[in-house]
A and B are shown apart, each in its own frame.
Chain A
């Protein structure tokens, strides 16, 4: 067995611990001396090799100008440290979070990069480990919002790994980088899986239901506003009276009211059931039917609308999430 393979897990765990200590998870971070690392790139080593070749030739042919050239290249190389380093310095990184996605899709984490000094920062590259790079420039004093993508595999709460921001500008001889933990989280819904819903008759009735429900809504009552609820349904009059944010609730006079139940899909594994439930939640939402959700320990009364859909999908995403 390759000894490197034996050492690597130990090393990476040590590294992760050291990084957690040195660069703890934060909401925003200002890149500076303490959190920027810098090392020569392959191109830098090639440049050094060329310099060395010139130096040896200078010695052997006693060429004063070749010495001068070798020294000029050496100091250009050294100067590269500062130019590359300052391309990353004084950047303030801020995690903006990510919209929920379905498992298998790419989660797009929003990152804002703000240049807090008076120079342009060019060709910044951002990526999560083994994911695609996002490149951008940031103008002096401005902030740039970027999406950094991360493939998702399974449902649940995806905690973004350390984000790598690096630059090789201007000469490509050095790579300055930082790996920051912006404490971003993305909710990953289960991947929808088409399957048969027992007792569902098809789209036909759904179409009728849609026409029947339009506008025929009865006021049912009030409940307290929660984040994620639609602003349109807020009882602004009550709010003006100082009763706080209340939500007007309506109930639709439609027959098509489904409660998606955990027990509807016997014979499937837990994840498959959640995927089927997700599929049908989306389907009902698309058809604007009322639907609820019943999982062991979770009960969501039937409803509709964007907020409701989110609530249901979120419940599916987070239900008994594998702690690993």
Chain B
């Protein structure tokens, strides 16, 4: 059946398509967006009768030219998924041009559902989810216009029906979401890695960390199983940088190994846990990088996370979506009590062509004056404390000998300056040391009790290896600006020019206005709950939740539970949607009589004509089925008496009805098939 496109549907469908692709438009190359616009305008012109449907040649030409151009426009970025998404959108737009019949429109609408899902690959925030919900309502209304008569089809009525249907299907959708067993990915998929990384990078040169303090963007959120540790214990380790070229600190050694190699090595941790460990649950914002943040000394048994020799954590794929993981950390620990030769060499490396001669001399002198390594370290920290060092976001630019200039001339810097020069001074005195970058501190959300860590919490500090103690965390910034560590970056930097400069419209800037700040924290709490319970609901969390909801025994028979839920949904839906049957207006005698007639028809004996009187019917039955004549005659007599008889009082009529009931029942049992007879026996007498 070829069915033409209802006129109203086309407008619906084109608006739906525009709505669905709108979130993708920013990501698409301009040429592709223009091509899509051309397709839409062309289709509208076809509808207006200005243009014809494109012929085969034109269609072929468009496809042959646009596909390679699309692929080429993505060249060099290596974004396979982006190309696929772009081609999907382009294909859908081309389909608009050959959309003549209802079937074509259904295909386009199904593609619109798929495109809605594609949006989730890029963003799963609450606004994205709400937009998707709107999309689904609109696509569903477009589907309704296809099957509705134009008289009843209006924007309002179609939307109302679509909203009702979507709302009605939400309860079952939630049940399926919670109950349907999640499985591990079937095959590995390319993921879109954005070229613009956020947060801490794997290089540190002067100015890198202070740059992050211009942003009020969220880095990650943590909720601790027990009490949140004090602010000065919250050193979120990201990367260890141990290779220095005189200006830039870089990663080196085994921290450059890929996840696959580290996974194969899986060397047991050389860390030694001393005290109690604390567990916490961390949701990392997308960084486009593969390392994770944790407190030293971290342990995790998640399959997707490995720990390298630097005690940093790495995950299988770059974090392109919010990523949730659980870690246990022992705040009292000993790490690498025995240092391997390679690691020691790395931790002592200094630039080959070093222009920081004054710093070297300073280190040599100070080490000679100190009794041991630890004493030397304290001397250096005292130097930071006693000299007029100034903790600032906007230090003066440094030249070639950056360490020298900072230590002895400018004396102004941010944490990367302190960490860098401190490690340099340690190494210059032959003490193994390295730079650690990550975040420090965090803000506790009073509503939900979790900790929010922002980009401006970015920090760099040092780790020094001391004999017998292993790697010890030393934060030279704390020596200069202790309040940075105890009160947090916000308290110290609030009045610095440049702080949060990139987040001009962030609510963070209004934290002094109490109700706005409360609103900000509330919204963040909602977003956090969304991520905790919806976005990161996966296999393991499902097992946990179902165990606590249903118990393990039922969880292992999840399909039974699913079946029960489905049955319940069917019952409820049937009750609410299918009720409203016509009320039985007939008197009980007629009802019984008609049931008998229906049974007679059902048994194939005789069909009562419409409007055939009871006596006529009885005569006809007597002719065709003589063996039923007597019974039917009696029933008919009683029925006529019940309906039309005037004699008798209330009690007499009731008695008559009872007798009719009994006789009709007997007759029905006589004519019924065996199964039907069983039913009749089970049913109440008056049925």
Contact partner of A63 (CB less than 8 A), chosen from B120, B136, B146, B148, is B120
The residue in chain B whose Cβ has the minimal distance to the Cβ of A169 is: B147
Chain B residue contacts of A230, Cβ below 8 A: none
How far, in angstroms, from A135 to B3 measured CA to CA in the complex?
Answer: 13
CB proximity to A under 8 Å, residues B147-168: 147-149, 151-152, 161, 165-166, 168
Known interface pairs A82-B573, A169-B148. Does A76 touch B169 (Cβ–Cβ under 8 Å)? yes
A220 to chain B minimum Cβ distance, whole angstroms, is 35
B182-A171 in contact (CB<8A): no
The residue in chain A whose Cβ has the minimal distance to the Cβ of B171 is: A75
How far, in angstroms, from A54 to B187 measured CA to CA in the complex?
Answer: 15
* Interface-located stretch among A103-111, A117-125, A157-165, A289-297: A117-125
Question: What per-residue 1/0 map shows which CB atoms of A50-76 lie under 8 Å from chain B?
Answer: 110110111111111111111111111
B601-A79 in contact (CB<8A): no
Chain A residue contacts of B566, Cβ below 8 A: 78
How far, in angstroms, from A57 to B191 measured CA to CA in the complex?
Answer: 12
A69-B149 in contact (CB<8A): no
Known interface pairs A46-B110, A82-B578, A123-B149. Does A65 touch B124 (Cβ–Cβ under 8 Å)? yes
A120 to chain B minimum Cβ distance, whole angstroms, is 7
A48 to chain B minimum Cβ distance, whole angstroms, is 10
A82-B574 in contact (CB<8A): yes
B2 to chain A minimum Cβ distance, whole angstroms, is 12
A26 within 8 A of B: yes
B582-A116 in contact (CB<8A): yes
CB proximity to A under 8 Å, residues B509-544: 534-538
Contact partner of A26 (CB less than 8 A), chosen from B534, B573, B601, is B601
The residue in chain A whose Cβ has the minimal distance to the Cβ of B610 is: A27
A61-B121 in contact (CB<8A): yes
* Interface-located stretch among A83-91, A206-214, A278-286: A83-91
Chain B residue contacts of A170, Cβ below 8 A: 144, 147-148, 161, 165
How far, in angstroms, from A50 to B108 measured CA to CA in the complex?
Answer: 11
B169-A28 in contact (CB<8A): no
Contact partner of A61 (CB less than 8 A), chosen from B140, B170, B191, B536, is B191
| Apart from the given pairs A50-B113, A69-B120, A172-B143, 11 other A-B contacts in the complex at a CB distance below 8 Å | A46-B110, A63-B124, A65-B129, A65-B535, A68-B534, A72-B136, A72-B170, A90-B581, A122-B152, A123-B148, A169-B148
The residue in chain B whose Cβ has the minimal distance to the Cβ of A46 is: B110
At the interface, is chain B mostly helix, strand, loop or mixed? helix
The residue in chain A whose Cβ has the minimal distance to the Cβ of B321 is: A63
How far, in angstroms, from A51 to B117 measured CA to CA in the complex?
Answer: 10
The residue in chain A whose Cβ has the minimal distance to the Cβ of B576 is: A82
Please give me the 3 A-B residue pairs with the lowest Cβ-Cβ distance, nearest first. A75-B172, A75-B169, A27-B610
How far, in angstroms, from A65 to B132 measured CA to CA in the complex?
Answer: 9
Chain B residue contacts of A76, Cβ below 8 A: 140, 165-166, 169
* Interface-located stretch among B22-30, B34-42, B173-181: B173-181
Contact partner of A69 (CB less than 8 A), chosen from B132, B183, B191, B569, is B132
Question: What per-residue 1/0 map shows which CB atoms of B554-583 lie under 8 Å from chain A?
Answer: 000000000000100100011001101110
B507 within 8 A of A: no
A49 within 8 A of B: yes
A314 within 8 A of B: no
Question: What per-residue 1/0 map shows which CB atoms of B168-205 lie under 8 Å from chain A?
Answer: 11111110110010111111110100000000000000
